[in-house]
Amino acid sequence: MSESLRSNRDFQNVYKNGRSFANKYLVMYIVKNDLDTLRLGISVSKKVGNSVVRHRVTRLIRESFRLNDYMFNSGLDIVVIGRAGAKGRNYQEISSAVLHLCKLHKIVKEMSE
């Protein structure tokens, strides 16, 4: 189960010290934390659309993390930024974009155990 990143200081720490990868729909920043939990922050700017559109993108990103949380390593702070290309996408497209970025960051657990 993941927690949320809430404070601006936490977001700034991830932006400043984290590594980032991007694809057509999302940008993902990752930095290690000293906790045993995964903390997730989601940011979707007004460039993506109005509040209804932005909240939908946010919910799709959060849901793709929730349904795949068994695959992720803990002890990470992750910030996901929705790009304008994410507007109007369905769950499968957003979820595959999230998993693609997680594989680039090498934070997906090996399932051979």
For residue 1, what pLDDT is reported? Answer: 60
Fold category of 2-105 in CATH: Ribosomal Protein S5; domain 2 (3.30.230)
Domain-wise residue ranges, the chain: 2-105
**Residues 51-78 pLDDT 10s:** 999 999 999 999 998 898 888 878 889 9
Q: Cβ(25)–Cβ(93) under 8 Å? A: yes
Parallel/antiparallel/unpaired status of strands 38-44 and 2-4: parallel
| pLDDT > 90: percent of the chain | 54
Is the pLDDT reported for residue 113 higher than 60?
no
Smallest Cα–Cα separation from 105: which of 51, 29, 5, 47? 29
Average pLDDT over the chain, rounded to whole? Answer: 88
